[in-house]
A and B are shown apart, each in its own frame.
Chain A
């Protein structure tokens, strides 16, 4: 689970870095208000999806899954 948590953290860090870079690009070169709306929608959904991923990460019974696949693989 600790390894999974580290991997999830790394993934979310990379995702956040990529998102920030993309948003900065959009903010720098945008030429209409629709860009602001799209950035807002993207940020809202990204936060929602990331939060759901974190919540469900902790809902997974990792020991049961690891045990099940260790003995049934």
Chain B
């Protein structure tokens, strides 16, 4: 769980756009169905009646492996997130199943926000990259996030409030 201050409210939890997961998801889906393409070959074997249960046994083992790979893919997608609260921004970086990094900074430290729409698909599907520069000269770049303009406006609005609160 995220550690928040007692009165702190989560304003936005932002995951990557679904386009970032679609390539690996299709690969897993393809690998999931790939053994079924071997089925006609197995049926053609002379010893098909003996080999078929072995093939189905192998199929379930394969499905178990694909299931865990799919779950790891989802974890990578789900935990790689940007959480905006009314006090701070929390950037969570997840790699694979277990590598997990959290960095956070106060909204009042936000100095500059740059958004970038990488290509025409970004324009079409409404996603982009966002770079947040802080007073400590630390840059955070989060790639392929949806509703990038709305996110920028929200962070700027909250950071102005945060800055006035600090002053």
> Interface residues, chain A, CB within 8 Å of chain B?
11, 15, 18-19, 21-22, 25-26, 28-32, 34-35, 38, 42, 45-46, 49-50, 52-53, 56-57, 59-61, 64-65, 68
Select one of A38, A57, A65 contacting B78, CB under 8 A: A38
Closest Cβ of chain B: how far from A11's Cβ, in Å?
7
Cα–Cα, bound, A53→B64 (Å) = 9
- Which residues of A are found within 8 Å of B64, using beta-carbon distances? 15, 46, 49-50, 53
**A interface: dominant SS:** helix
Closest Cβ of chain B: how far from A12's Cβ, in Å?
8
Cα–Cα, bound, A34→B18 (Å) = 15
Tally of chain B residues near chain A (CB < 8 A): 29
Could you tell me if A38 and B74 are in contact, using CB atoms closer than 8 angstroms?
Answer: yes
- Chain B 7-61 residues near chain A, CB threshold 8 A: 10, 13, 47, 50-51, 53-54, 56-57, 60-61
The interface-forming segment of B65-73, B108-116, B120-128, B154-162 is B65-73
- Which residues of B are found within 8 Å of A28, using beta-carbon distances? 1
- Which residues of A are found within 8 Å of B51, using beta-carbon distances? 65
A-B contact pairs, 10 of them (CB 8 A): A21-B97, A22-B71, A22-B72, A22-B98, A26-B75, A31-B1, A38-B78, A49-B64, A61-B53, A65-B50
Cα–Cα, bound, A25→B61 (Å) = 24
